[in-house]
Structure 1
Amino acid sequence: MALVVITALAFDFTNGFHDTANAMATSIATKALRPKTAVALSGALNLVGAFLSVEVALTVTNAVVKIQDKSGAPKAELLADGGSTLLLIILAGLVGGIVWNLLTWLLGLPSSSSHALFGGLVGATLAGLGIAGVNWNGDGSKLDGVVGKVLLPAVISPVIAGAVAALGTWVIFKITTGVAARFTEQGFRWGQIGSASLVSLAHGTNDAQKTMGVITLALIASGHWSDLENIPLWVKVSAAFAIAAGTYLGGWRIIRTLGKGITDINPPQGTAAQSGAAAVILASSHLGFALSTTHVATGSVIGSGLGRPGAKVRWAVAGRMALAWLITLPSAALIGALMFWVGDAVGGTAGALVVFTLLCIASVAMYLRSRTGKVDHENVNDDWDGDSPSTTGTPATTSSVPAVAAN
């Protein structure tokens, strides 16, 4: 149980720095905010947002593993062995999510932390309980479970966000034609700060809850919690601080790709993209959809490029992102399944320790690899070097790029 909680909070931390770009990439790219100021603001608002709702957390608790019997109570067979099988499933699933998060961060790909988590959990559940153990479609009376709450939002949300951002960008440029450029640039930089703050708040509301749901599921497995409609307070607090800390760290590689790699962004575009993303994320959080904030943010940035007259979208970069989106869930599922089989083969607490040790080794290896070709707050805004083979784009220089504050 302790290993699961530690690993869940570690996933929450990686979720934070993996997804900082969703809120702040465009504000950093247009220099509306200094890089370090942007991640600090985003971290603080993620912390606040985590306490605004529990709908997504309850989705995570109930939507992946079939934990309820016909009466609505936790299944007795899942708790018969002290919950050790279910705990190992959760641990293996979290490892799948973390490893995929770190790999895509290393490559500078803004893939979905949410789908990495759900993929890991689905794979571990398939390995541990078989296909019948996965809650594919809830009770069958409505679109629920993995299909309704995860897969459908994954397809629909980036399209909606892109359309909203494209329309918003087009309208903005239409109504500001003839207005002095210095007034529109300055005004929209303030607009970017406001809309980026809203995305950060929305991200905390949606993504921090996923870790809350996972820890609550583990508490149910170990017999420490039985309420399927509420989340313990200490779980909310710990998950909120973990994602805020990760966000403050700043996932500079992904910020660079999203802010500089897809299209050249100016403040009106950034405002439209962030406003569209925030609207979609907040609406989905209210409905309990555990969507990918990364998909939404990326769809919004692409939409802002399409909506701006004369703007260029780098489709080669967008294509690499789309490929990462497609393989995220099955790849994390494969890792989760392998980790369950390893832990189950060793057995008991020793098996869980082996899985945790493998996670630590993989994490350290990817961190050390990231020190080559370092991207940080000093070179995150350097010019994108075309569609180079490097996913993160080769920084034009290694010098610091001056960032101007909004005022």
Structure 2
Amino acid sequence: MYSTLLIVVVILAIVFDYINGFHDAANSIATVVSTKVLTPFQAVLWAAIFNFAAYFVFTDHKVANTIAKTVIEHYITLHVILAGLIAAIVWNLFTWWHGIPSSSSHTLIGGFAGAGMTNAFFLGSSPIAAVNLIPIIKIVSFIVLAPVIGLVISVAITLLIINICKNARPAVAERWFKRLQLLSSAALSFFHGGNDAQKVMGIIATALIAQKVIPDFAAMPNWVPIACYSAISLGTMSGGWKIVKTMGTKITKVNALEGVAAESAGAVTLAITEHFGIPVSTTHTITGSIVGVGLVKSVSAVRWGVTVSLIWAWVLTIPISALLAGIIYGVMHFFIK
């Protein structure tokens, strides 16, 4: 029932999920580490626990279903999925090594779509015919919308907190916000797990359907979500310290109050998008939220040079991943029969 190639695809998908965890660990822990509320080890352990806790709540798998539908079924083969995963892993490791907080989600989506489009080309069809434009348009539009929503919510939360606490003693307020940051960090980790683990679930389910192991997405076996949530949680525990530095200090300096606001805004944004089954980048979301708390202080409090560099990485991730996957699939097409 499980061919050797299918087993390889499943293993690589879980490896990607693990890499996603340590690549995106910074999203959940950067502010809580930079404010010294938790040590790095405590922070990744805290984040990993809530990454996995999402397994017990997000049972509708809306995001996974969206991912599974990004490429038209006629153009999906195990080689397409394999090429997409290899490309996604390569780009994720490259950006992690250079401390660039790019989107693991968009890397996976770009790789899957790029390999599918290349397969369509070899089959004599238009490459565009291989992709389902409705989910692709949603995903691409939220490259812009997710950080903007995070930014707006973080500005609103920061201003609300400042107004409520304007008469509080600074030392008392700082102590309380450090406690609250444990909750906001947990919430962000929880929704990060719920959003990102589902993306790999969608890929594995697609592979099982392509191999006719299961008839449709609804028949996805329970070991798939368990494996995906476990992998991303273990990856988070491995940390991603180069990216933590970028997220926690290079965009803007964050105190405990601002950490609560940024993490809460990120969690709310992820909750909204998960409800509608939209696969968004947690990296983009929390970056927008951190920029938002910086803007409340002043425009100059945000290091715009760093922010612009991050935006370039966001814009290029999908096309580079797609191109890389297309090349890998092309090599497979000619040399692996």
**TM-score range for the pair, normalised by the shorter chain length:** over 0.9
Give the Cα–Cα distance (whole angstroms) in 1 for the partners of residues 332 and 85 of structure 2: 13
In structure 1, the partner of 2:155 is 166
> Could you say what secondary structure the match of 2:301 adopts?
coil
Task: Give the greater-gyration-radius structure (CA).
Answer: 1
Note the C-alpha offset of 1:228.
2.6
Amino acid at match of 2:32: S
List aligned pairs for 1:184-263, cutoff 5 A.
Answer: 184-263=173-252
2:3 aligned partner: none
**Alignment-mate amino acid for residue 114 of structure 2:** G
- 1:30-69 CA deviation, whole Å, 9 max, x = no partner? 011111000001111111213422111111112x1111xx
Output aligned runs, 1:3-402, within 5 Å. 3-53=8-58, 54-62=61-69, 64-67=70-73, 75=74, 86-130=77-121, 131-137=127-133, 144-148=134-138, 150-308=139-297, 312-348=301-337
8 A Cα contact 2:30 2:247, kept in partner: yes
Return the TM-score normalized by structure 2: 0.93
Relative to total residues, which structure has the larger helix share, 1 or 2? 2
Displacement after TM superposition at 1:175 (Å): 2.9
User: Closer, same or farther in 2 for the Cα pair 1:325/1:132, shift >3 Å?
Assistant: closer
Contact between 1:269 and 1:308, CA under 8 Å: does it hold in 2?
no
Measure how far apart 1:291 and its partner are: 0.7
Contact in 2 for aligned 1:88/1:340 (Cα 8 Å): yes
Tell me, yes or no, if the aligned pair for 2:113 and 2:131 is still in contact at 8 Å: no
1:53-112 CA distance string (max 9 Å, x none): 2111111112x1111xxxxxxx5xx6xxxxxx6101001101111111111111111110
Displacement of 1:287 in angstroms is: 0.9
Counterpart AA for 2:159: W
What amino acid does structure 2 have at the position aligned with 1:278? A
Contact 1:59–1:290 under 8 Å retained in 2? yes
1:132 CA drift (Å): 4.2
CA shift for structure 1 position 145: 2.1
Query: Segments of 4+ in structure 1 off by > 3 A?
Result: none
> Contact (CA 8 Å) 1:168, 1:307: kept in 2 or not?
no
- Structure 1 gaps of 5+ residues are 68-74, 79-84, 138-143, 349-407
Does the C-alpha gap of structure 1 residues 292 and 173 become closer, same or farther in structure 2, counting only changes over 3 Å? Answer: same
How many equivalent pairs are there? 325
Q: Which moved more, 1:46-55 or 1:36-45?
A: 46-55
What displacement does 1:274 show?
Answer: 0.5
Residue in 2 aligned with 1:398? none
Please list the CA deviations of residues 255-314 of structure 1 after superposition, one character each: whole Å capped at 9, or x if unmatched: 110001100100110000000100010111111001111100100000010113587111
Matched-pair identity in %: 38
Q: 1:375 is matched with which residue?
A: none
TM-score by length of structure 1 reads 0.77
**For 2:172 and 2:193, how far apart are their aligned partners in 1?**
32
- Superposed CA RMSD in Å reads 1.5
Using CA pairs below 8 Å that are at least 6 residues apart, which structure has the higher relative contact order? 2
Name 2:124's counterpart in structure 1: none
